[in-house]
A = this chain, B = another copy of it.
């Protein structure tokens, strides 16, 4: 029986796969290319991979099923995909909230404003065809022409060179074009040939744990030709960095799976971008990829065992230039991928790129930059002197560990305003000091903004921050982060107090969407970690709050975040004289800058070398800072303006 194949039909996505009996539905989904959410990597610890079995037989319920699914959900056929093993052909329904494919991707970011001076340039060559009286080798005749015509500009005292893959391209191409060619030259190396007049193109990639943003730029003009994003398919092996490192370390061939998956995604993205820009993909003569240190290592297939355990050291933090062919990217045959330097195990090249794009290294004041995610990296610049820290802020902002959490895909609640109706009973408040809890009438949801505009099916990171800020503002959440029991609008749910945001009748999936005490706890931990990290960095650098002139919030979550709400709940500290700036995908913008300008690459190296890293776990008094930052202050503003 175990060797029989079972067919799995995934609805409504319409994908199908045949896999051996005994395969889990999660594995089947991976095989079918259905990107099921899985924070824990398939160990039954996150409850994100739920789906409904419409027909067919699967293995029995497990502890994990019962801990994440209610009796009625189980009765309705809902199961965790990682727990369900196939006993027959099955047909399953994948709810949108369990999919990771349709998430809104933040690719925009401040456009790079740099002098175009890339590492790779295009040169035109026109030579005579070989003959009995001139039987120089194909490459030698082209190289000699380039050296003669452009010698000083090429700066190649050693003479041009080209590797086998580029030579494989030249001999047929030269004969096809009548020996009129464009040569893409990097240092003294020809990295590709193309038909005459084809400019070299560069690919910049911000390789995130969740999403991959890619950009094509014309390396002659600096013009952006295309931008697009895809999900990082490594999500199928675990949604966060820790789960993926564990997969790479523990599973035989796991590191290879992760490398293959992300390389294929970048290669696919390059193809998509090239098609959009109307260029040949072998015109892509240079690339620059930034990511956190784990993404960097998993892409390159570097060892990660030492990255996964204290003291969490990278295999290398120095910049690398790796042949694109080694990463199976199918660009120009000799193209290199620049991997800018990392700083530490938890502060990667994406942070360096963010610092560069935000200009923190060149700031003439005190500025703080944050890139908020599962891991949050923070840099503090005192007149250009840089100190960084990083903290685990958990996947709550990505919608994980939140009862109705989801990514910022269609159907996600991304903004909430609460109001009170007049009248209604104000019950006794569980020792709450917040007077608002006892005033006014019933809670009313005044506004609910949903990604895509349809009925809500869940709540994403910016939505939960907004909701919690509103709960706090309206007095339903006290300073310790507890929902005020018996306050109007706070009801007793399955796991404790909860607040209803959208009743089942008004949601897209027929389920009440609520914010639970557990959800608040998750956000409280995350915002406490971030605020404490900022506080520690300010302290460690001897900075006075009044000195901080600028706070730069980068990244996708940071872009959609309601800044007022973030300040209200203490996710971002209030600095009296600071301006707060949301800069979008600064890491991607930094990657583009490095792609377009070798000088910016050098700048990145200087940034990485001079960044001082503060290890928070070793920072004196950090636990006290953290405990304090977990609190919710008295609301300082009741503005609900966006």
- In contact, B310 and A168 (Cβ under 8 angstroms): no
A163 at the A/B interface (Cβ < 8 Å)? Answer: yes
Given contacts A164-B326, A167-B303, contact A310 B137 (CB under 8 A): no
Our pick among B164, B300, B318, B326 for the contact of A137 (Cβ within 8 Å) is B318
Query: Contacts of A317 on B, CB cut-off 8 Å?
Result: 136-137, 139-140
- Tell me the complex Cα distance, A9–B175, Å: 48
Shortest CB-to-CB span from A475 to chain B, Å, is 43
Our pick among B171, B320, B344 for the contact of A163 (Cβ within 8 Å) is B320
Our pick among B143, B300, B303, B617 for the contact of A318 (Cβ within 8 Å) is B143
Given contacts A130-B306, A302-B167, contact A137 B618 (CB under 8 A): no
Using CB atoms, name the residue of chain B closest to A300.
Answer: B164
- In contact, B140 and A302 (Cβ under 8 angstroms): no
Residues facing B in A46-67 (CB within 8 A) are: none
A133 at the A/B interface (Cβ < 8 Å)? Answer: yes
A315 at the A/B interface (Cβ < 8 Å)? Answer: yes
Residues facing B in A168-216 (CB within 8 A) are: 168, 170-172, 175
Our pick among B133, B301, B313 for the contact of A136 (Cβ within 8 Å) is B313
Query: Contacts of A301 on B, CB cut-off 8 Å?
Result: 164, 168
Query: Contacts of A130 on B, CB cut-off 8 Å?
Result: 306, 311, 313
Our pick among B136, B302, B310, B320 for the contact of A132 (Cβ within 8 Å) is B310
A342 at the A/B interface (Cβ < 8 Å)? Answer: yes
A494 at the A/B interface (Cβ < 8 Å)? Answer: no
Query: Contacts of A162 on B, CB cut-off 8 Å?
Result: 316
Given contacts A175-B306, A306-B175, A320-B163, contact A138 B315 (CB under 8 A): yes
Query: Contacts of A320 on B, CB cut-off 8 Å?
Result: 161, 163-164
| Copies of this subunit | 2
Shortest CB-to-CB span from A163 to chain B, Å, is 7
A314 at the A/B interface (Cβ < 8 Å)? Answer: yes
- In contact, A316 and B139 (Cβ under 8 angstroms): yes
Query: Contacts of A134 on B, CB cut-off 8 Å?
Result: 311
- Tell me the complex Cα distance, A606–B132, Å: 23
Residues facing B in A244-280 (CB within 8 A) are: none
Residues facing B in A83-139 (CB within 8 A) are: 130-139
- Tell me the complex Cα distance, A318–B164, Å: 12
- In contact, A318 and B140 (Cβ under 8 angstroms): yes
- In contact, B138 and A170 (Cβ under 8 angstroms): no
- Tell me the complex Cα distance, A133–B302, Å: 23
- Tell me the complex Cα distance, A301–B175, Å: 18
- Tell me the complex Cα distance, A326–B334, Å: 13
- In contact, A164 and B133 (Cβ under 8 angstroms): no
Using CB atoms, name the residue of chain B closest to A168.
Answer: B303
Residues facing B in A302-329 (CB within 8 A) are: 302-303, 305-306, 310-322, 326
Would you give the 0/1 interface string for A487-530, flagging 1 where the beta carbon is closer than 8 Å to chain B? 00000000000000000000000000000000000000000000
Using CB atoms, name the residue of chain B closest to A316.
Answer: B139
Query: Contacts of A424 on B, CB cut-off 8 Å?
Result: none
- In contact, A137 and B168 (Cβ under 8 angstroms): no
Given contacts A171-B303, A302-B164, contact A139 B310 (CB under 8 A): no
- In contact, B139 and A315 (Cβ under 8 angstroms): yes
- Residue with the highest number of chain B CB atoms closer than 10 Å, among A143, A302, A316, A321: A316
- In contact, A132 and B618 (Cβ under 8 angstroms): yes
Shortest CB-to-CB span from A2 to chain B, Å, is 29
Residues of A near any B CB (own CB < 8 A): 130-140, 143, 159, 161-164, 167-168, 170-172, 175, 300-303, 305-306, 310-322, 326, 342, 344-345, 613, 615, 617-618
